[in-house]
Amino acid sequence: MFCHQCQETAQNRGCDKMQGVCGKKSDVANLQDLFIWTLKGISFWGNMATQKDLYNEEAAFFIAKGLFMTITNADFSKDHFVQKINQAIKHRETVKKQLLEKTKVSGDLPDYAVWTPANDNDILAKAESGTGGWLEIENEDIRSLKATILYGLKGMSAYLEHGYQIVKDGEEIFKFIMEALSVIADQNAAQDDLISYVMKTGEYGVKAMAYLDEANSHYGDTEISEVNLGVGANPGILISGHDLVDLEELLEQTKDQQVDIYTHSEMLPAHYRPFFKKYDHLRGNYGNSWYLQKDELKSFNGPALFTSNCLVPPDADKMDRIFTTGAVGFEGLAYIPDREPGGHKDFGPIIDMAKKCDAPAAIESGKIVGGFGHKQVLKLADKIIEAIKAGKIKRFIVMAGCDGRHKSRSYYTEVAKELPKDTVILTAGCAKYRYNKLDLGDIDGIPRVLDAGQCNDSYSLAVIALELQKAFKMADINDLPISFDIAWYEQKAVLVLLALLHLGVKGIRLGPTLPGFLSPNIADFIIKSFELKGITNAKEDVQAMMAGK
Ligand code: FSO
Ligand code: SF4
């Protein structure tokens, strides 16, 4: 195996032993590489087909969902990937047939466009041979650019998969994924073309984030809300991940069942959406960010449902209490199958289990406040602009992104503490758990931490910046009193970074480390072109940010 897609990759170079730092085993990693290789096969035909007005929506969604499954801490199941590779070949053949009925394709066909396994053993053998792995690409700069595009596409696919459950459509962005996958697959792709696709991935990243923002508004726009951190007397189900449709169906199916629902990690911002407020048994948020789930599950006492990443490989004695669905999977854990068109998922097994469990033990009490998506913040725009003009708010610090296991991430807590009292932190994603329970106070009633929501809601932070730019009639977004100090872990954060670069944001700090998948030359190119920086220590970085550097 060789996987270097996340911030915790071994030695910031790549996981290449029997198991990755995240717990992904080498056989699964190799199957994921082969699966993406077969998705390139669908894209090879699909990209040509869309140019002939033969867009196959089912195949395009299959590709996006497939990429989402390979994101860090999503699907660890060998069986799932074998099944998916078989399905990918079927989709490829359908798309190919549709195209060949309309036009002829000449020239040599690449292996990924034609390979058909005789059986599952064939798939396992091909995966073990390393087919589709990064080390097949010798030139490290080409490998680095292709990895940047692919990881951005994985993040984009996560946003699309969630949005598509709610609104369908999204054709333009699904087509881009096929186009970009075809470019990554092309062995002759030139460095300059790949650089332009890195930027295009950021451009489509903004579109994908806007698409999901619009889709999620089906549940109402985020509004200022207090979220309970304590527990009730009923047994509970803990729901984690980012999928709001799953949450809705779980809430419906647990109505009047004397079972409470608690959000975990990235599901916390669901409390900010008006739609979910009608469910009294949506009791509150339990616990913190994803990497603490094992300990928090012990005291929760009831079952947990993972609707998307981040799943940590569970302890053997907790396997029966963890359920997966959507793009998540793990050998030995129960998997709730997808909904049929027009139907819903059946959460019966998890509800039955919850009823037999004790109520959660309290680990916290009190409330936290969030819900500052772009529409809510724009309602406060006059107040904020007044505070900026009066010098009461000197600077905004965007500290969005992901949390992670490494101790070095205490940097973000220290930055939050170190920042002067006339600064406001804009956040989204699980990175906020590093400081969202500190008492940082407010500025004339505006909280010093404005939480827009999930990492998926990072779009809000870009919209807020663009609106402030308009309000202050500034020609350049970089003239605003905003600093970006982003924490990254997995591939949605890669997409958010590319989206910010596309929007022209310069001088972003990215930590705790710069991505290991950037070769020295490509890292140098990005650092020079966009003034991207690593982090140093909280004191020095706060001083620099306050000086606009
Ligand atoms: Fe965090 Fe995990 Fe939301 Fe990520 S829970 S790390 S960027 O998957 O998705 O913020
Ligand atoms: Fe390693 Fe991250 Fe890949 Fe897991 S996802 S194998 S930790 S690089």
Spatial contact of 314 and 322, defined as CB atoms under 8 Å apart? yes
**What confidence score (pLDDT) does residue 538 get?**
98
Q: What's the rounded mean pLDDT across residues 287-296?
A: 97
pTM above 0.85, yes or no: yes
Calpha distance 281→503 (Å, rounded): 41
Decide if pLDDT at 146 tops 90: yes
Structurally, how many domains does the chain consist of? 3
Q: What's the rounded mean pLDDT across residues 238-264?
A: 98
How many A from CA of 219 to the centre of ligand 1?
20
- Indicate if ligand 1 lies below 6 Å from the C-beta of 455: yes
Q: What's the rounded mean pLDDT across residues 468-488?
A: 96
- Indicate if ligand 2 lies below 6 Å from the C-beta of 154: no
Is residue 3 domain-resident? Answer: no
Is residue 202 domain-resident? Answer: yes
What is the gyration radius of the CA atoms in the chain, in angstroms? 23
Name the residue at shortest CA distance from atom 6 of ligand 2.
20
**What confidence score (pLDDT) does residue 44 get?**
98
479 and 401 inside one domain: yes
pLDDT tens string 405-425: 999 999 999 999 999 999 999
pLDDT tens string 123-139: 999 999 999 999 999 99
Q: What's the rounded mean pLDDT across residues 292-301?
A: 97
522 and 409 inside one domain: yes
186 and 235 inside one domain: no
Token pair belonging to 444: 């004339």
Looking at the CA of 451, name the nearest ligand.
Answer: 1
402 and 542 inside one domain: yes
- Indicate if ligand 2 lies below 6 Å from the C-beta of 4: yes
Spatial contact of 522 and 430, defined as CB atoms under 8 Å apart? no
How many A from CA of 17 to the centre of ligand 2?
11
Residue that terminates a domain, selected from 324, 355, 386: 355
What beta strand segments (E) does 123-249 contain? 225-228, 236-240
Is residue 361 domain-resident? Answer: no
200 and 332 inside one domain: no
Decide if pLDDT at 456 tops 90: no
pLDDT tens string 204-239: 999 999 999 999 999 999 999 999 999 999 999 999
For the CA of 454, the closest atom of ligand 1 is 3
406 and 257 inside one domain: no
How many A from CA of 272 to the centre of ligand 1?
18
Q: What is the dihedral of CA 286, 289, 293, 296, to 10 degrees?
A: -40
Sign of the torsion angle spanned by Cα atoms 401, 402, 403, 408 = negative
Q: What's the rounded mean pLDDT across residues 309-325?
A: 96
Q: What is the CATH number of the domain that holds 50?
A: 1.20.1270.20
Q: Give the C-alpha distances (Å, rounded to integers) separating 37 from 54, 147, 186, 511.
A: 22, 13, 12, 30
- Indicate if ligand 2 lies below 6 Å from the C-beta of 15: yes
Helical ranges in 238-301 per DSSP H? 244-253, 293-300
Q: What is the dihedral of CA 251, 252, 253, 255, to 10 degrees?
A: 80
How many A from CA of 184 to the centre of ligand 2?
20
Is residue 508 domain-resident? Answer: yes
Is residue 360 domain-resident? Answer: no
Is residue 366 domain-resident? Answer: no
Q: What is the CATH number of the domain that holds 287?
A: 3.40.50.2030
Place of tokens 């073990």: 128
Q: What's the rounded mean pLDDT across residues 27-46?
A: 98
- Indicate if ligand 1 lies below 6 Å from the C-beta of 310: yes
Q: How far is CA 315 from the centre of its chain?
A: 24
**What confidence score (pLDDT) does residue 391 get?**
97
For the CA of 516, the closest atom of ligand 2 is 8
Residue that terminates a domain, selected from 217, 242, 264: 217
37 and 170 inside one domain: yes
Which residue among 1, 4, 5 is best mutated to probe the pocket of ligand 2, counting the most ligand atoms within 8 A of its Cβ? 5
Residue that terminates a domain, selected from 198, 217, 236: 217
Host domain of residue 470: 372-546
pLDDT tens string 428-450: 999 999 999 999 999 999 999 99
199 and 162 inside one domain: yes
Is residue 499 domain-resident? Answer: yes
Nearest to 149 by CA among 194, 86, 210: 194
Is residue 4 domain-resident? Answer: no
323 and 382 inside one domain: no
210 and 229 inside one domain: no
How many A from CA of 489 to the centre of ligand 2?
10
pLDDT tens string 108-124: 999 999 999 999 999 99
91 and 154 inside one domain: yes
How many A from CA of 257 to the centre of ligand 2?
39
How many A from CA of 425 to the centre of ligand 1?
19
Looking at the CA of 151, name the nearest ligand.
Answer: 2
478 and 500 inside one domain: yes
